[in-house]
Structure 1
Amino acid sequence: MKLVGRIIVADEGLNGTVSGTKASCDAYMNHLKANPIFDSAEFKIDDVEEPSFIKMHCRYKSEIVHSGLRDPGIINPQEKTGIHLEPNEFLEMKDRDDVVILDVRSNYEHALGKFKNAVTLDIDNFRDFPAMINELAQYKDKKIITYCTGGIKCEKASALLLHEGFPEVYQLHGGIIKYGKEAGGEDFEGKCYVFDNRVAVDVNKVNPVVISTCSNCGKTTAKMINCANPECNEHFTQCDACGVKLDGCCSEDCQAHPRKRLYDGTGYYVKIPMQVNLNKRLKGNYSIKVTQPEI
């Protein structure tokens, strides 16, 4: 199959995104569905003009999403996790006075886009989430609805909140991406960061706004890139003018770095630029994300 993407395999399940022609993506999904292990696999499909990756990367990890909490006695989403809300249920519930919307993603993600009035956390990685529980204690008398990009982080986040004594915890099933597709994305402000060469995607078709600003000049911009200095590689928002001025770097120091990568305007870099011929302009290219909790 002519596929590119990123797939993570762990003892607790499978999570990945692949991109290719419709025929290749269909073959991949059918192959997984044919195995009873993946009976509960959930596929999210996007139509894209070009592949969302330029190579295939598949590897084993101890956790699908690293939380640092490997003791199943602490969190086991298969046994206890937040109540799943479908997008339209989330839409109906999110503005109630007794509800708190909790973003469990990292700083660079919610800086680009988040739900209106959502509580965000100062974390660089999801493994920092458990240390934030004490800061969330003020919301124990509320209904907590967690959300993330595709719903995977919420499985562990909501399970941990329940373990820590939060009495009523929910999660947005399928995350921001599914909410945009099925409920129009209302009140999601900005863009949604994604982990492929699209970098950011539109979600809100109802009342869209841009909330992110250029890290260099402060101008409103929805463009997020990686610093062209590979030893920095910081995720940050930068307008096109500053991108040209700084060669896609976050600072003049990084711009002067001898290993600075060539900035092509996208700010997306890969370790091995191995091109894969997927008939890029072929109509019907798909990018699909598959999630399979608990193998």
Structure 2
Amino acid sequence: MDYRVLLYYCYTPIEDVLAFREEHHRLCLKLDLRGRIIVASEGLNGTVSGTKESCEAYMQAVKSDPRFAALEFKIEEAPAHAFQKLHVRIKPEIVHVGLPAIKPYERTGVHLSPQEFRDMKDHEDVVILDVRSDYEHNLGRFKNAVTLDIGNFREFPEKVEELRKYQNKKILTYCTGGIKCEKASAYLLEQGFENVYQLHGGIIKYGLEAGGEDFEGKCYVFDGRVAVDVNTVNPTVVAHCVNCGQANERMVNCANPHCNDHVVQCESCGEKLDGACSEACQQHPDKRPYDGTGNYPKQSNHYNPEQGLYSYSPPVLS
């Protein structure tokens, strides 16, 4: 395959986020990279796709900056671009949880390599904690993992009290690429939990380096692929169509933009409901046309640093 998908993040202080954002955007345009990149005063987070050569040049450029020397890229092959457009945005946090005061580069959970995670996960004194949203862990999760009923990562702090019963155990947190675990494990430590760990590189790296053993189902990803296989050792299907209940791993967005729920839906039910997750959503007057994919890419604001700030104004950072 001639294309690559890069998943990465790095918590590190960035003083002039606007200047960094402009320079970084120009670099991505020059290399014809596409995807979503978030810049904040606390670091950098992104998922981009491009040719093998462009991705190599990008990784070399990023890691040449001393602030990102320790950054690790998760690299996957792809037949073409996984994104249609490029977005480089400034936000208060590189993953939104509403805890800007938590600084993972100062204190966070113990990083476990995929092999170390695999060796520890089945011990009696261990709890595996999925810190992702429900639509993600409904599609796939580690065997025997504790999951949280949250629609968005920003709800994680509200669920910490539910985890008090595990306070005397070793808590192994995991997420897609590792970024959510940095803040989740740091917050658990702040809340008095002592034995907190995290799967370094997340599910993606675990699949690449440990064969994905005991990860059941598929992994939800935030690009055009939507879901990817992880387990090459003992794969299984855990998700079911939201409508007919049959085992299935096809993840879609509801065609009703006012709902837009992430759901598992088989192709037959998708056709029957014209891309909607329910009959009520099917009848909504604003329902989007269904092309069989259930994927509705966001429109670009057409911002280009070489042509001016058309519709862009940076957020106020606290």
TM-score, scaled relative to structure 1: 0.89
Shift of 1:240: 0.8
1:259 is the counterpart of 2:310: no
1:154-200 deviation line (CA, Å, top 9, x unaligned): 00111111111111110000000000000000100000000011000
Matches within 5 A, 1:193-208: 193-208=220-235
**2:80 paired with 1:53:** no
Aligned residue runs from structure 1 range 105-120, under 5 A: 105-120=132-147
Determine what percentage of the aligned residue pairs are the same residue: 67
Partner in structure 2 of residue 17 of structure 1:
47
One-letter amino acid matched to 1:126: F
Number of aligned residues: 271
SS in 2 for 1:42: coil
Work out which of the residue numbers 62, 83, 95 in structure 2 matches 1:32: 62
Classify the secondary structure of the residue corresponding to 1:153: helix
- Aligned with 2:275 (options 248, 268, 271): 248
Q: Distance in 2 between matches of 1:135 and 1:231?
A: 31
Q: Distance in 1 between matches of 2:73 and 2:57?
A: 13
Letter in 1 for 2:63: K
The one-letter code sitting in structure 1 at the alignment partner of 2:161 is: N
Counterpart of 1:230 (choices 257, 260, 263) is: 257
Contact 1:52 1:198 in 2 (8 A): yes
Say if 1:273 and 1:64 are closer, same or farther in 2 by CA, change over 3 A.
closer
Deviation at 1:80, TM superposition (A): 1.4
Matches within 5 A, 1:13-162: 13-71=43-101, 75-162=102-189
- Whole-Å separation in 1 of the counterparts to 2:159 and 2:287: 35
SS in 1 for 2:73: strand
Work out whether residues 212 and 221 of structure 1, in 8 Å CA contact, stay in contact via their aligned partners in 2.
Answer: yes
CA distance 1:112–1:66, shift in 2 (3 Å): same
Once superposed, which parts of structure 1, at least 4 consecutive aligned residues long, lie more than 6 Å away? none
Tell me if 1:219 matches 2:249.
no
CA distance in 2, matches of 1:175, 1:194: 12
Residue pair 1:54, 1:273 contacting (<8 A) in 2 also: no
Partners of 1:125 and 1:231 lie apart in 2 by: 17
Rounded to whole Å, the distance in 2 between the matches of 1:177 and 1:4 is 20
Q: 1: distance between equivalents of 2:50 and 2:141? A: 29
In structure 2, distance between residues paired with 1:69 and 1:92: 31
Cα distance in 1, alignment partners of residues 124 and 174 from structure 2: 18
Q: What is the CA–CA distance in structure 2 between the aligned matches of 1:32 and 1:165, rounded to whole Å?
A: 35
Distance 1:189 1:126 in 2: 21
| Equivalent-residue separation in structure 2 for 1:217 and 1:192 (angstroms) | 22
List alignment gaps of at least 5 residues for structure 2.
1-30, 302-318
Structure 1 residue matching 2:83: 3-state secondary structure: coil
Counterpart residue type for residue 206 of structure 2: Y
State the shift of 1:253 in Å: 1.6
Following TM superposition, by how much is the alpha carbon of 1:24 offset from its aligned partner in structure 2, in angstroms?
1.5
Greater relative CO (CA pairs within 8 A, separation 6+): 1
Q: CA deviation at 1:258?
A: 2.3
CA distance in 2, matches of 1:17, 1:116: 27
TM score, norm. by length of structure 2 = 0.83
1:190 corresponds in structure 2 to 217
Conserved? CA contact 1:7–1:16, under 8 Å: yes
Structure 1 position 20, deviation (Å): 1.2
Report how far residue 30 of structure 1 moved: 1.9
Q: Distance in 2 between matches of 1:273 and 1:137?
A: 43
Partner of 1:8: 38
Q: Aligned letter for 1:36? A: P
Using the TM superposition, give the Cα deviation of residue 273 of structure 1 relative to its aligned residue in structure 2, in angstroms: 7.8
The verdict on how the C-alpha distance between 1:9 and 1:273 changes in structure 2, with shifts beyond 3 A counting, is closer
CA distance in 2, matches of 1:38, 1:247: 45
Shift of 1:34: 2.4
Cα RMSD (Å) of the superposition? 1.2
CA gap of 1:41–1:122, structure 2 versus 1, over 3 A, is same
Letter in 2 for 1:146: T
